[in-house]
Amino acid sequence: ACEAVRGKTYVVATDTTFAPFEYRDTAGNLVGIDMDLIRDVADKMGFSVKIDSLGFNAAMLAVDSGNADLCIAGASITDERKQTYDFTDPYFDSGVLMAVSESSDITGYEDLADKTVVVKTGTEGETFAKSIAEKYGFRTVSVDQSSTMVQMVQAGQAEAMFDDYPIVAYGIAQGNGMKAVTEKEAGNSYGAVVKKGENRDLLIAFNVGLAELQADGTYDRIMTQYLGDNW
Ligand code: GLN
């Protein structure tokens, strides 16, 4: 498998505004944990990547339709997705967290009755919010980007949003005007994704490269660069 990937160029699909896993820096470069991981794995294993910043749902669909070879976008490893995709080894443990505006009076899910909650299409956050929507009496609206969720809450178009906790925490630390008032929900680990039964060599090469990054300290350095001590 490691021989087979050498010299090849793979199309890698990813999310758009999912800091600190993938986002554009002030110079417009696509950076983040996922971007560093895939580029470093590619360097180690001798293949090239062409990165397509599509949005989470679009990136997963691109892999399914064969328009991308791999998706790395903080994709949670779920049993449902395993019917359509093969996952690499896990590289980060996540979970879903609600965020509200700094000025909000909301202190828990109970306060969401008759409110609008914004979530991201095709994500674990969306699935979780929908699973409790009836119990707490709120409605959900789905959008394609994490940045849109924040904008909608800030604009008063939604009362709360659900995203993965490292993304919520990073945004708050950057001063995006949000706060978290609940504990994070248990969630699944992130893996990179290929279409089920396809790109087997790439999947194996990713796992080999990831293990090398973990063994030689590169993985720890990337995590600390973006997350400080919070991982
Ligand atoms: N981890 C979440 C999921 O897989 C969200 C991923 C994302 O929004 N990029 O559903």
Domain boundaries, position 118? 94-187
User: What percent of the chain is modeled with pLDDT above 90?
Assistant: 97
Residue 30's beta-bridge partner residues?
A: 24
Examine the pLDDT at 1 and tell me if it is beyond 80.
no
- Mark whether 100 and 126 lie in a shared domain: yes
CATH number at residue 106: 3.40.190.10
- Mark whether 42 and 69 lie in a shared domain: yes
- Mark whether 144 and 199 lie in a shared domain: no
- Mark whether 87 and 146 lie in a shared domain: no
pLDDT tens-digit series, residues 31-78:
999 999 999 999 999 999 999 999 999 999 999 999 999 999 999 999
- Mark whether 55 and 125 lie in a shared domain: no
**Distance in Å, CA 26 to ligand 1 centroid:** 23
- Mark whether 199 and 172 lie in a shared domain: no
Mean pLDDT throughout 99-120?
98
- Mark whether 196 and 87 lie in a shared domain: yes
- Mark whether 195 and 182 lie in a shared domain: no
Which amino acids bring their CB within 6 angstroms of ligand 1?
Answer: 15, 18, 56, 73-76, 94, 120, 123-124, 164
Whose CA is closest to atom 5 on ligand 1?
123
- Mark whether 167 and 205 lie in a shared domain: no
- Mark whether 62 and 127 lie in a shared domain: no
In testing the pocket of ligand 1, which one of 38, 121, 124 has its CB within 8 Å of the most ligand atoms?
124
Contact 124, 58 (CB under 8 A): no
Examine the pLDDT at 152 and tell me if it is beyond 80.
yes
In testing the pocket of ligand 1, which one of 71, 120, 148 has its CB within 8 Å of the most ligand atoms?
120
pLDDT tens-digit series, residues 169-178:
999 999 999 9
ipTM above 0.90, yes or no: yes
Residue 2: which pLDDT band, with cuts at 50, 70 and 90?
Answer: confident
What domain count does the chain have?
Answer: 2
**Distance in Å, CA 66 to ligand 1 centroid:** 20
- Mark whether 69 and 14 lie in a shared domain: yes
- Mark whether 17 and 77 lie in a shared domain: yes
